[in-house]
Structure 1
Amino acid sequence: MTVTKIIDKTTENLQTLTPIVSGSLDIGAGESQGMRLITRVLGQLQADYPEVSIHLRSGAAGRIANQLADGQLDFGIIMGNQVSSQYSALKLAHTDSWGILLPKNTALAQKAVITPQDLVGQPLIVSEQAMNEHRFQNWWQNVSDQLQIVGTYDLIFNAQLLVTTSHCYALAFDNLVPIEDNSLLTFRPLSPALNESTTLIWSKDRQLSSVAQIFLKRLKSITE
């Protein structure tokens, strides 16, 4: 057998022994810069396994939990420290910080940080999920009954449009809205600071697919 034929035969054997990974990977998440790490792993995964399809679904924690329960999702990404014992969890290094998205031409934009007292009487729109989970209950301190919450939002893209046109303020995570030099909006962090951890969760009652196991292994390798 010639050297060329030996090489061709070896290559054929290796290809036969290497499993073809295919299928779909479904991940539900809220809006967070923590998704940059997730998408980086997903991009490399899809480059290595072209037969894999990836589906990202936006949603609040309650919706993500329901979709994990009925098998629509392989993983969910949630913000905050409360993770139910029914899930396996991997805490990511990224932390989101709450602040105020507001028009540049307002007096409040002159402040370096925003305190609860600064928001008294100001028109606020707030993340509906965060409100339902009472994320700001401790931060409000003793001024909660003096706040003017005029609405809620699910997606910060839509919220920023309302802030721009209605001159209200949005309680939001940092770095979700690009603030350019010519932007009409700016962002100010809260004081005292209010931060949220980011956690990947998956059901303890369901066996992860091969694709999901590979994704999780790769994510763990750069987070643990």
Structure 2
Amino acid sequence: MDLKVLRYFLAVVQKESITAAAEYLYLTQPTLSRQLSALEDELGVTLFMRGNRKITLTEEGRRLRKRAEEILDLVTKTESEFLAPAEQLRGDIHIGSGETRAMSDIVQIIQQVRVDYPDIHVHIHSGDANDILDSLTKGLVDFAVLIGPEDLSEYEFLRLKKKNQWGLLMRKDSPYAAKTVITQQDMLLMPLIFPRQHNTENKISQWMGPHYRQLNIISTYNLIFNAALMVEHDLGYALCLDGLVSTVDESIFCYKPLQPRLDIDVYVVWKKHNPLSKVSELFANQLKLQLL
């Protein structure tokens, strides 16, 4: 499979038109059409549904789009690592992270590295734990910030200094807003919006004990912004970590911690026995210096 053809394919996806993509790529339309047809023949699938005004992706086309983006991102990342001048420490560091205020520990280290090495650039990739680990496995990110992972045996890891605490995000006009903490009995009476992560489910299941199955979980989410919208529209109460949503005076939200208190550790991890680029090795050393 030719990388050039994958770039052509993504250009057509972006422009939603072979004509527009051909102009963008400085190709003739017949040339681009032949390249796309050859790609479909090579893969044995139909990638596009061709309409009068625009083309849309088939299910196979959507799968290829995801893979093509990952492949080309990895190619760009690899090129940047090897093309950096040997005498000058420069390049890119890619960090995947879930939503956690403990990320501030990482940001402080990024700031220190950037002061000494201004030609190092850092890229943050946000997502849930599954997305971040998938990107780490594929080499799309160099480091991952994980909230309470269950198994770290395959990784080098360091625990961040800041812990997170579980609680509920709610409206300030909620009948529970006057409470200082939220108990297990309180949660049994609430419509709940839960993070869509296996390790979170395990932690809350252990915390709730035999009453876990009685919880009324009406919805799940992977990013807190969308969960906050549901809370704003009074759909329920979002289980989340502290410090992720503003609860200052003008905010409609308030946050109440769970009681008994439920804390969770946050780790920065990278793959064992995996050769790091020079800039990633520098960053790993800074992590060890600051966090050990």
Name the TM-score, length of structure 1 as normaliser. 0.86
Measure how far apart 1:189 and its partner are: 0.4
The equivalent residue for 1:12 is: none
The equivalent residue for 1:206 is: 274
Q: 1:133 to 1:22 in 2, by over 3 A?
A: farther
Measure how far apart 1:150 and its partner are: 0.8
Please give the residue correspondences for 1:173-188 in structure 2 after superposition, counting only pairs within 5 Å.
173-188=241-256
Between Structure 1 and Structure 2, the one with more helix by share is 2
Distance 1:206 1:145 in 2: 41
Q: 1:176 to 1:130 in 2, by over 3 A?
A: farther
> Aligned residues: percent identity?
36
The equivalent residue for 1:147 is: 215
Secondary structure class of the residue paired with 1:134: helix
1:161-214: CA deviation from partner (whole Å, max 9, x where unpaired): 110112410000001111111221101000111111011111113111111111
Q: 1:130 to 1:143 in 2, by over 3 A?
A: same
Distance 1:106 1:112 in 2: 13
1:19-65: CA deviation from partner (whole Å, max 9, x where unpaired): 41111101111011111110111123223222222111112222222
Name the TM-score, length of structure 2 as normaliser. 0.67
Distance 1:189 1:73 in 2: 32
Q: 1:133 to 1:84 in 2, by over 3 A?
A: farther
Secondary structure class of the residue paired with 2:193: strand
Secondary structure class of the residue paired with 1:36: helix
Distance 2:179 2:112 in 1: 42
Whether the 8 Å contact between 1:116 and 1:141 is mirrored in structure 2 is no
Q: 1:99 to 1:132 in 2, by over 3 A?
A: closer
Measure how far apart 1:71 and its partner are: 1.1
Measure how far apart 1:133 and its partner are: 4.8
Query: In structure 2, which of residues 182, 191, 206 is the aligned counterpart of residue 114 of structure 1?
Result: 182
The equivalent residue for 2:288 is: 220
Between Structure 1 and Structure 2, the one with more strand by share is 1
The residue identity in structure 2 corresponding to 1:208 is L
Q: Mind listing any 5+ residue stretches in structure 2 that lack a counterpart? A: 1-85
Q: Mind listing any 5+ residue stretches in structure 1 that lack a counterpart? A: 1-17
Measure how far apart 1:221 and its partner are: 1.7
Give the aligned length.
207
